Amino acid sequence: MTWRLRVVHTTGFAYDAPVTSSFNEARLTPRSDGRQNVIHNRVETVPATRAYRYTDYWGTAVTAFDLHAPHKSLAVTGTSVVETEAVAIPTDTLCWDQLGEERIRDQYGEYLGGTEYVPVTDRFDDVAQRLRREYDPASAVVEAARWVRDQMSYVPGATGVRTSALEAWEERMGVCQDYAHLTLVLLRAMGIPARYVSGYLHPDRDAALGEAVGAESHAWVQAWTGSWWGYDPTNGVQVNEQHVSVAIGRDYADVSPLKGIVTGGGSTHLDVVVEMIRLA
């Protein structure tokens, strides 16, 4: 089944004092790949800015813009229409010996190593080794995500965007970002190339066509077991029509929806609103 979704993601910044210069990058353009097709996308700002687009190292579309007139607020809105579909978990995957070949480890090395949020650690070696013994690589991806979901409690506000996988593990609680980071730790410990995906999840499969539904940014993982495919550890499901992928990378640091540098401004107040509408 194919869905057509409209996504509107608005981020508003309010500053206590005027900002004199602002340099920004927005990753708000959904990906066009084998699972989804972008029909329309635009990124707009208030005040208006001059923007240009490029594709970053990881293959994500980036809208870069700067503003040099004094301003006490900035709103950035990404509007997209995307067609999505579910992709089954692949059955023709490589075996463990093939994943361990030098050419594979060299080609996908950046998705096997550690990062600030997904560090290399021996803390989960027992779990990783058990999963390797008991399952083929594709099944091990699902079981790793299931293990993380069983061990963690979903508690909004318990962690922040700078929380690492190990910090979330110490508390045994977190949100989708933490579930994705912890799953990546396990997958990479097993020798499965794995990357972080940011995007959106339509929260109501039974929503009426044309009904606007409040949503949030979401995160899940993609594993390479002969081809890339996605799994959502937070919800324990394969990526389906409700998921809209935007950015990929090694961890959250590579996919932040908005990042920038400002001069002046004092304290910053942030407001984020995501709305999704199923059109077809």
For residues 200 and 196, give the distance between their C-alpha atoms in angstroms, rounded to a whole number.
13
What does DSSP say about strands 258-264 and 194-201: parallel, antiparallel, or unpaired? Answer: unpaired
Query: What does pTM read for this prediction?
Result: 0.96
CATH of 96-199+214-254, one of 3.55.10.10, 3.10.620.30, 2.40.240.20, 2.60.40.10: 3.10.620.30
Give the burial class of 253: count Cβ atoms within 10 A of its Cβ; 0-12 exposed, 13-18 middle, 19 or more buried: middle
| Cβ within 8 Å of residue 50, ≥6 positions away | 65, 66
For residue 127, give both structure tokens: 């779990």
Check residue 264 and give its pLDDT: 87
What does DSSP say about strands 153-154 and 173-174: parallel, antiparallel, or unpaired? Answer: parallel
Q: Are 25 and 257 in contact (CB under 8 A)?
A: no
Check residue 267 and give its pLDDT: 81
pLDDT, averaged in runs of 10, over the chain (280 residues) = 96 94 97 96 96 97 96 96 94 94 97 97 97 97 98 97 97 98 98 98 96 96 97 97 98 96 88 97
| Domain residue ranges in the chain | 2-85+256-278, 96-199+214-254
DSSP one-letter code for 235: T
At residue 243, φ and ψ (nearest 5 deg) are -95, 130
On the question of a common fold for 2-85+256-278 and 96-199+214-254, the answer reads: no
Give the burial class of 205: count Cβ atoms within 10 A of its Cβ; 0-12 exposed, 13-18 middle, 19 or more buried: exposed
For residues 274 and 268, give the distance between their C-alpha atoms in angstroms, rounded to a whole number.
20
Q: Are 57 and 47 in contact (CB under 8 A)?
A: no
Q: Which of 273, 210, 226 is nearest to 28 (CA)?
A: 273
Give the burial class of 207: count Cβ atoms within 10 A of its Cβ; 0-12 exposed, 13-18 middle, 19 or more buried: middle
Check residue 87 and give its pLDDT: 87
Class of domain 2-85+256-278: mainly beta
